[in-house]
Amino acid sequence: MQRIINDPSMVVEDMLKGFAKVHDDIIHVDKENPRVVISNHAKDKKKVGIVTGGGSGHKPAFIGYCGKNMVDAVAVGEIFSSPTAKSFYDCIKAVDQGMGVACLYGNYAGDNMNVKMAMELAEDDDIEVKTVVANDDVASASKEDIKKRRGVAGEIFMWKVGGAKANMGASLDEVIAAAQKAIDNTRSVGVGLGPCTIPANGKPNFTIKEGTMEFGIGHHGEPGIKVEELASAKDMAKEMTSLVCDDIPFTAGDEVAVLVSGLGATPVMEQYIFYDEVEKELRDRGITVYKSYVGNYFTSLEMNGVTLTVMKLDDELKECIDMEVETMGLTQF
């Protein structure tokens, strides 16, 4: 295991120390609970609080989206494991200012359970909490079972929209409605070309044969739809764009935001090559890219591969997407 770490069981602890040092202008770690990261701007003004959380190993997600006009507090889990209910609860308490808290997170069993428990604790404190559960991963369940789909990189759009809306002074219901619309309008799919290794395990948790790719792979290496021969960037983009666009469907005349993310070990050069093909595919369908993001936005340790996320825009979503943010993972001017 070729890794730059100290103790494999302490990687999250050690990472958080470095993160807090580098980004002390944006965030701080809660004094009582070291698994809670809070934006320095969380209480700049009275507004709905935005909370998320999830397993570690997806950097910049989740703590990299904590900051001005985006997420106010993040509950931090172990590698690929849900944060505790206590951490979600501490996040909620930390950012509530009487207008309620929007908990915007991804559809995983552990997160669902722990958020639910945290909400019960918050209810005892008379804090109103509402949720949006991201389910943008097209490959993780059929359209009939859409509520079973997992949340992946589309969560970034959900946080961006929810955070912007809260910053505009919207009510909890308005924030929830906008974030729900963001995720309802968003579809993602991933392709895996190489596995990753959880440090405490020491061995890859799945394999991908040289010359093949796992189409529809999940963010923790969950099996995809099929294993197929490694395709060119063009063919990969064609297949992924089709799957994503046919699901909503996206149609000619639509304006979209596109996010291409490497999974950790994918050279950024390849991500731009892939994006170029995606944009051509979208253009061929009469779909216009309003805004695009290419880079390591939502990773899976050192997995090799790429994810495609597309969100259909309307005026409200555009206004939210355009709002400036200051976070480690996303900066916009």
**Among residues 52 and 299, whose Cβ is nearest to its own copies?**
299
DSSP bridge partners of 197 = 204
From edge to edge, which strands make up the β-sheet containing 101-106? 27-29, 36-39, 73-79, 49-56, 101-106, 129-134
**Among residues 19 and 65, whose Cβ is nearest to its own copies?**
19
Q: CB of residue 34 vs its own copies: minimum separation in angstroms? A: 14
Taking alpha carbons only, the member of 222, 213, 58, 258 closest to residue 139 is 222
Which positions are annotated as active-site residues? 58, 220
Provide the 3-class DSSP secondary structure of residue 134: strand
**Among residues 79 and 132, whose Cβ is nearest to its own copies?**
79
Whether the CA torsion 161, 166, 169, 173 is positive or negative: it is positive
**Among residues 177 and 230, whose Cβ is nearest to its own copies?**
230
Q: What CA–CA distance (Å, rounded) separates 112 from 94?
A: 20
Contact at 8 Å (CB) between 45 and 74?
no
Q: CB of residue 307 vs its own copies: minimum separation in angstroms? A: 11
Q: Where are the beta strands (DSSP E) in 158-199?
A: 186-194
Identity of residue 297: Y
The contact set with its own copies (CB under 8 A) reads 2-6, 11, 14-19, 21-22, 56-57, 59-60, 191, 193-194, 208, 210, 213, 230, 232-234, 236, 264-277, 279, 289, 292-294, 296, 299, 301-302, 304-306, 326, 331, 333
What does 216-277 look like in DSSP terms, one character per residue?
A: T--TT----SEEEEPPPHHHHHHHHHHHHHHHTT--TT-EEEEEEEE-BSS-HHHHHHHHHH
Q: CB of residue 150 vs its own copies: minimum separation in angstroms? A: 21
Q: CB of residue 214 vs its own copies: minimum separation in angstroms? A: 11
Q: What CA–CA distance (Å, rounded) separates 123 from 125?
A: 5
Q: What CA–CA distance (Å, rounded) separates 168 from 162?
A: 10
Q: CB of residue 43 vs its own copies: minimum separation in angstroms? A: 20
